[in-house]
Chain A
Amino acid sequence: MRRIRKIKVDHNSEFELDLAPLLAVMVKLVPVLLVSSAFVQMMVIETELPQVVNEAIQRQDQQQTPTNVALEVDGKDGIRIVITEKGQEKVETIPLRDGAFDYPGLHQKLIAVKKAHPEVFKIELNPDGKVPYNEIVKIMDEARQAHDTNVKFPVFDTKQGKNVETNYMFPEIIFANMMEG
């Protein structure tokens, strides 16, 4: 009778995975990524907008006497919101709080302005010459978008023929006093 050869299988044996090729790949990948990675993320404050908002801005430009929202920023008095509607001017002042600009107050006022005039996307910024750049960027942040994601503003989309909601408030910011002396 032929004897059946028994294959010895040791179920408790440990085997080692050859990690050397994997390590070789990683050693090459890590320097490549180290060189090309950006540790400081930089973004821009842009003028490009979503399609719907862009079209609404174009429609607004076609109107004869559009509603105009302007922000006057002064280091002494604070921020003044000037709304010009049909030739009439309405001024709201946000005074300084503890010597600094009151950003939450400005944001709440701007949301109220946007709710009253949902068709306006353009905002004019008239900062005083002494206002630091940092403060201007912060004011632009407050004006661009509603921080609260539940706050939405209706925008009429001509392509779909219905109202679309957005949380953009005044994404188009213009430095209106740039040309003044």
Chain B
Amino acid sequence: MSRRQRYEPNIKKNSTFTLNITSMTDMFTIMLVFLLQTYSTSEVQIVPDSNLRLPTSASMANPTEAVKISLSSEALKIDQTKIADVKNADFLPQDLEDKDANFIKPLFEELDKLAKSSSDKAHIKEGRILLQADKELPYATLRKVMYTASMAGFPQLKLVTMVGE
């Protein structure tokens, strides 16, 4: 018999081991603080369009409930529903009234429908509009939207801008 004793590692089977989670908790705490900071406090959720670049402004007013109109370089939308096409930073001739080149027919019809169907809502009664428009668009195109909206009985226009710069 050999005198040498066989080396037996001291492993206890069925033992539970503790994971060192201190560093992970550290990381989560930092993340939690960061996310709490960016947590949006405004009551209205504005969904930004993918191909729409909002202008930046120093305004610090939170958005309120209103009819959301977005005007990108491709389409005019109310609450994500496409109303009219935009090409070369202008509306198509068939969407505009013949005698009044500032009047967008589909937008007026849609806003009129909204005003009649849900007139009990405060923001529609007061005629509030949140306009998100691409910063590269000329004023002439925007004016058509403003003009039509005010004709449809929505005179309170609010321009959505981004914080920054």
Contacts and interface: CB of A to CB of B under 8 A. Distances in A.
Is this pair of chains taken from one and the same complex? yes
Interface string B131-155: 0011111111011001100100000
Contacts, number: 142
B137 A133 contact: yes
Given A41-B40, A145-B58, A130 B138 contact: yes
Contacts of B162: 40-43
B105 to A, nearest CB: 17
Contacts of A116: none
A43 B63 contact: yes
A168 to B, nearest CB: 12
Interface residues of B, number: 53
Most chain-B CB neighbours within 10 Å: which of A20, A46, A130? Answer: A46
Contact of B40 (A38, A48, A140): A38
A23 interface: yes
B59 A42 contact: no
Given A23-B21, A34-B35, A43-B161, A127 B59 contact: no
Contacts of A175: 143, 146
A136 interface: yes
Chain A residues touching B, range: 35 or more
Contact of A44 (B31, B62, B102): B62
Given A133-B55, A137-B57, A45 B158 contact: yes
A132 interface: yes
Given A27-B28, A42-B63, A175-B146, A137 B38 contact: no
By Cβ-Cβ distance, the 6 closest A-B pairs, closest first, are A129-B140, A38-B40, A134-B135, A33-B35, A26-B28, A137-B55
Interface string A4-43: 0000000000001001101100110110011011111111
For the residues of A in contact with B, the DSSP-based class is: mixed
Nearest to B158: A44
Contacts of B140: 129-130
A43 B163 contact: yes
Contacts of A19: 21-22, 25
Interface in A41-82: 41-48
B118 interface: no
Interface string A72-109: 00000000000000000000000000000000000000
Contacts of A34: 35
A168 B42 CA distance: 23
Nearest to B47: A42
A73 to B, nearest CB: 8
B159 interface: yes
Contacts of A165: none
